[in-house]
Chains A and B, each alone.
Chain A
Amino acid sequence: MQALINGLISGSSIALLALAFQIVYLPTRVFFIALGGLYSIVPCIAIAVKDTGGMSFAVIVAIVGGAMLSAFCEWANHGRLARCNASDGVQLISSLGIYIVIVQMIAMVWGNNTKTLRMELDSVTTFGDNIVVTGAQWVTLLSAIVSIGGFALFLRYSKLGLRLRALADNPIQFTLFGYNINSHRLLAFALGGMFAAISALVTAYDNGFEPYAGLHAVLLAVVAVIVGGQGSFCGAVLGALLLGLIRAEVTWYSSARWQDMTTFALLALFLLLRPQGLLGKKTRLESVS
């Protein structure tokens, strides 16, 4: 039971990042590895601001900073490449380049060591006999529910959400209807950066952070997207929760060192046997990739 709860909570922080990846990937088809760089830099911003402006101000600055940085990646790099009709591979490689640049800058400015956002010991809530939920886990769970729920409502009921879904569905027709594709792409990147920032902050608050953790986190998110079904937002969240559960169970019953092996074995299984994911419709991979 404890493993189940731990899994759901760590899964919800993966879900935030998976959603961030998906918000960028579906409308723009950019495999946004640089999200890993954002994931690493956001807690650093928060720590730098915290000393002068207090915690809540630092969180706001960090989230806005993450969104702006992500939008800057689109404005300066991916958008320009897309207007030159660059292929998927080119987008991926340049995103990888941005990731390397951001991470190395963090390492040069703030150093390589692991840091944490939380200074004091964590409070603990106990249910029943032996089920423990820490304060940081509550924070993770609540911010995941609020932001994922908010995003679901935004997609479902607002005009802008509808337009984002339309862009994801068919970019060419979207342009034909007279909407500006560039500004909507910019919005998608900013939203993606925002969700990545929230995910990074809750993880940094719970477990601490170091510059090189970003890539691993993004890869987990991508596995979640593939498992859940890479055509939908819902699938990403479902896949992330499932992945969190599986990783927690593996840790509980065997050892944390098999976590990655199980995760990527799962990825290989899904890619070979069910590449459309749990919620996806059956299509040919070539047509969606």
Chain B
Amino acid sequence: MNYLLHLLVYFDIYAILALSLNLVVGYCGLLTLAHASFYAIGGYACALLMLTANWGFLPAMLTGAFLSAVASLTISLSAWRLRGDFFVLASLAVQTLIYSAIYNWSSSKYPIGSWENLTNGSFGLTGIPSPKLFGWEINGTFDYAVFATGVAGLCGFILWRLKSSPWGRLLLAMRDDELAARGLGKNTRLAKIQAIAIASAIAAVAGALYATHVRYLNPDSASLDESILMLNMVIVGGLGNFRGPLVGAAILVGLPEILRFFDFPDAQAANLRLLIYGLLLVLLMHFRPQGIAGNYRLE
């Protein structure tokens, strides 16, 4: 039972990430590789504020989300000018810069969280306290699963309302024909900034959930592989609607567990799982470019 609850927490985290990434990739049509860095910014900000400044979970998480939204300006401003492969490259640059910053912002002479040793480099942050919310100490796996599902539900609800609002339709119009949307007097640049900032802030919430669940955070959560994994999830599941990313997250969480039933040596199982993701990407691009449950084909 504990095992299933654990899976549920991971599904919640990945579902939040996939839904938020879908806002950028599926609704704005911008292929980004920087999502993991916003996820990590949220995780690190929340963990550091809780560890060193003894903040509560809620203010720490919201600060992380705010910082992440501010950091997302780096990619949304480049989305003003760049499209296609060039935007992918710009997001890649942002991703590498943030990853190097997290990886290198350390010095063994100073305590963790001081200005000289903010992130503790490759050793990561340990002993992140478990969240406490309005007097509810969230400690056991069951409590955490309930909490994570609640947060994921809330994020999903916000995204769902946004997508069915006039603003969501503006995003769709902009994705399909930016020039026409601008011709109708819509401010597409502002819409891009808003969409990317909201998506990044929500990814930061997922980062905060991950940090307080695992209670350990290292720079790997900001790595390019992590970004590729998130992108994989959205593209395999499907772009441009609400159920696609959920399908993708379910596949991502479910596949390793299914592989467990076959007797692969542990060392090979991780490689095999990634190999299947890669193969899925190649095959989907041929036979179903909109993903398993999506309705938008990538430009």
Contact = CB atoms under 8 A, between A and B. Distances in A.
A38 B275 CA distance: 16
B18 to A, nearest CB: 16
SS class, residues of chain A in contact with chain B: helix
Contact of A285 (B83, B231, B278, B299): B83
Interface stretch (B43-51, B100-108, B128-136, B240-248): B100-108
A100 B97 contact: no
A267 B93 contact: yes
Interface string A271-289: 1100100000000011001
B53 interface: no
Contacts of A81: 285-286
A272 B285 CA distance: 31
A87 B239 CA distance: 15
Interface of B is mostly: helix
Contact of A97 (B90, B272, B279): B279
B97 A265 contact: yes
A286 B89 CA distance: 14
A22 to B, nearest CB: 13
B88 interface: yes
A97 B271 contact: no
A268 interface: yes
B78 A98 contact: no
Contacts of B78: 268, 271-272
Contacts of B31: 89, 92-93
A104 B232 CA distance: 15
B271 A257 contact: no
A80 B81 CA distance: 31
Contact of A219 (B92, B274, B277, B278): B92
A272 B274 CA distance: 34
Interface residues of A, number: 41
B84 interface: yes
A89 B90 CA distance: 15
A96 B274 CA distance: 12
A93 B88 CA distance: 11
B299 A89 contact: yes
A226 B104 CA distance: 26
Interface in B240-299: 268, 271-272, 274-275, 277-282, 285-286, 289, 297-299
Contacts of B92: 219, 264, 267
B96 interface: yes
Contacts of B224: 215
B85 A90 contact: no
A138 to B, nearest CB: 31
B272 A90 contact: no
A155 interface: no
B214 interface: no
User: Which of A104, A105, A107 has the most chain B CB atoms inside 10 A of its CB?
Assistant: A104
B82 interface: yes
B228 A92 contact: no
Contacts of A99: 278
A268 B278 contact: no
Interface string B74-86: 0000100111111
Contacts of B97: 261, 264-265, 268
B235 interface: yes
B281 A80 contact: no
Interface of A: 31, 77, 80-81, 86-90, 92-94, 96-101, 104-105, 107-108, 215, 219, 222, 226, 257-258, 260-261, 263-265, 267-268, 271-272, 275, 285-286, 289
19 contacts: A77-B282, A77-B286, A80-B286, A89-B31, A90-B289, A93-B31, A93-B235, A93-B298, A96-B278, A97-B278, A100-B228, A104-B271, A108-B271, A215-B224, A257-B100, A260-B100, A263-B96, A285-B82, A289-B85
Given A88-B85, A90-B285, A260-B100, 17 more contacts: A77-B282, A93-B231, A93-B285, A93-B298, A97-B277, A97-B278, A98-B278, A105-B275, A215-B224, A219-B96, A226-B89, A264-B96, A264-B97, A267-B90, A271-B86, A275-B81, A285-B82
